[in-house]
């Protein structure tokens, strides 16, 4: 009998992240593809909205959101730890998660829905209605997939911004490949929290989708090989010694700061306006309007997502727990990546996840 059940989809960005972590952790789990019956009988009653992945714990508890899933499994299986145990690398791990979960979704969504749409509709349909004929599966998958397709323009992906998004993504691939020429994983010889964060968008949408994979193989074969290593749960040693972010990672963090930091600042301002009149414990809206962004010199507008601030809060919590010596190292790191003002973006009202929803802290 397995200890865990992973309910998800092979086409899902965050299911890929959870699966890779569980594989590396070596825990016993079954993966169950979500169909209409599972959504109706398991996910909706326990989570309240249609989402994957969801993990059923050994005690029967249902956990949603990859960060919560990792935390829950780590509590049961602490060795080896997925998170580096030094303050700066832990801080950098959460910043990498912010980058992967909230900003690399732009190229992930663009390439999936503008290069791989028909294949994804068919795959969605096969998952939802495995007994149906291919034509029916495609139509069912299209009805399901269109709600994801509709998010593309909301993320600022349009004819004007697409060339810039593609240029930024290919530059990211080359920068990450340069790092992988020195270290097989993000922080050394084995996967850690930051690897699984990056694996989410880089696997399901940008490696597994066939047209996107061609681009990755052409532009950065070492990144494709890294995707394969992480997915296989490979380990080639330990984490780097000391508490220094490898210099080869700085271009990735600099790119994130340049592109995403202004969006975070705009989102934080919108959140503060909303929070002025919100009651303690209130559910936080998933979108708070629009935020301007600039990528490769091209301007656009993207939905302002408070969840990005929650991911930032996770990183800033580590920063605030640091002693003076570690804080000085962290501030030097932030300066080196052009993110000196990151700590100023901490919302005045603390957030938490309660009953699988993002809320203001109740008291």
Q: Which residue range(s) make up the domain with 25? A: 4-76
Any domain includes 68: yes
Give the pair of three-digit tokens for residue 227: 């995707």
pLDDT by residue (tens digit) across 312-360? Answer: 999 999 999 999 999 999 999 999 999 999 999 999 999 999 999 999 9
Q: Which residues pair with 5 in a beta bridge?
A: 30, 56
Q: What is the pLDDT of residue 121?
A: 92
How high is the pLDDT of residue 107? Answer: 98
Q: What total number of domains does the chain contain?
A: 1
Residue 359 is given by DSSP the state: E
In a domain, 21, yes or no: yes
Give the pLDDT band (50/70/90) at residue 1. low
The answer to whether residue 17 is domain-embedded is yes
Q: What is the pLDDT of residues 49-102, one digit of tens each?
A: 999 999 999 999 999 999 999 999 999 999 999 999 999 999 999 999 999 999
Mean pLDDT of 103-108: 98
Contact partners, residue 230, CB within 8 Å, separation at least 6: 20, 24, 185, 191, 195, 196, 199, 203
Closest to 157 (Cα-Cα) out of 195, 106, 202: 106
- Residue length of the chain: 363
Contact by Cβ (8 Å): 301, 293: yes
343 phi, psi to nearest 5 deg: -65, -20
Query: Within a 13 Å sphere around the CA of 114, how many CA atoms are in the beta-carbon half?
Result: 17
pLDDT tens digits, 229-284: 999 999 889 999 999 999 999 999 999 999 999 999 999 999 999 999 999 999 99
CA atoms within 13 A on the CB side of 216: 24
Flag whether 71 is in a domain. Answer: yes
Instruction: Give one word for 225, left, alpha or beta, with left for phi > 0 and alpha for psi -120 to 50.
Output: alpha
Cα→Cα distances 301→49, 180, 259, 271, 309, Å: 27, 33, 12, 17, 18
pLDDT band at 124 (very low <50, low <70, confident <90, very high): confident
C-beta atoms surrounding 123 within 10 Å = 20
- Report if residue 129 sits inside a domain: no
- Of the chain, the end-to-end C-alpha distance in Å amounts to 41
C-alpha gyration radius of the chain? 20
pLDDT tens digits, residue range 196-231? 999 999 999 999 999 999 999 999 999 999 999 999
> What average pLDDT does the segment 167-184 reach?
98
Structural domain includes residue 212 = no
Q: Tell whether 42 is covered by a domain.
A: yes
Spacing of C-alpha 48 from chain mean position: 21
Secondary structure (DSSP) of 6-18: EEE-TT-HHHHHH
Structure confidence at residue 363 as a pLDDT band (50, 70, 90): confident
Query: Residue 25 falls within a domain, yes or no?
Result: yes
How far, in Å, CA of 171 to CA of 107, rounded?
12
- The pTM of this model reads 0.96
How far apart CA 110 and CA 122 sit, in angstroms, is 18
CB atoms within 10 A of CB 348: 9
C-alpha distances in angstroms, 267 versus 4, 112, 120, 320? Answer: 36, 26, 31, 21
For residue 68, the domain's CATH number is 3.40.30.10
Please determine, for residue 131, whether its predicted confidence score (pLDDT) is greater than 90.
no
């Amino acid at each position: 009998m397995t200890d865990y059940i992973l309910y998800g989809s092979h086409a899902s960005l965050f299911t890929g992240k959870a699966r890779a972590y569980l594989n590396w952790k070596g825990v016993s789990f079954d993966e169950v593809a979500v169909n209409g019956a599972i959504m109706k009988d398991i996910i909706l009653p326990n989570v309240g909205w249609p989402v994957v992945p969801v993990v059923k714990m050994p005690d029967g508890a249902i956990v949603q959101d990859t960060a919560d899933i990792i935390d829950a499994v780590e509590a049961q299986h602490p060795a080896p730890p997925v998170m580096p145990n030094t303050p700066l690398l832990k801080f950098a791990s959460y910043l990498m998660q912010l980058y992967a979960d909230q900003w690399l979704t732009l190229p992930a969504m663009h390439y999936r829905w503008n290069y791989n749409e028909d294949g994804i509709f068919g795959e969605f349909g096969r998952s939802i209605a495995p007994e149906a004929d291919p034509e029916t599966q495609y139509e069912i998958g299209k009805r399901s997939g269109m709600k994801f397709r509709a998010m593309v323009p909301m993320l600022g992906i349009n004819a004007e911004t697409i060339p810039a998004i593609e240029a930024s993504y290919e530059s990211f691939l080359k920068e990450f490949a340069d790092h992988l020429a020195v270290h097989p994983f993000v922080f050394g010889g084995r996967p850690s929290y930051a690897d699984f964060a990056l694996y989410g968008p880089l696997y399901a949408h940008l490696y597994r989708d066939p047209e996107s994979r061609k681009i990755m193989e052409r532009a950065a074969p070492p990144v494709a090989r890294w995707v394969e290593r992480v997915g296989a749960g490979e380990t080639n040693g330990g984490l780097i010694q000391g508490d220094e972010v490898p210099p080869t990672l700085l271009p990735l963090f600099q790119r994130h700061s340049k592109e995403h930091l202004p969006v975070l600042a705009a989102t934080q301002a919108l959140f503060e306006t909303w929070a002025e009149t919100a009651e303690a414990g209130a559910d936080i809206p998933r979108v708070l309007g629009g935020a301007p962004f600039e990528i490769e010199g091209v301007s656009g507008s993207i939905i302002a997502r408070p969840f990005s601030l929650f991911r930032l809060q996770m990183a800033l919590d580590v920063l605030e727990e640091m002693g003076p010596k570690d804080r000085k190292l962290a501030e030097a790191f932030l300066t080196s990546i052009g993110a000196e003002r990151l700590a100023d973006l901490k919302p005045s009202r603390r957030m938490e996840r309660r009953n699988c929803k993002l809320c203001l802290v109740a008291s």
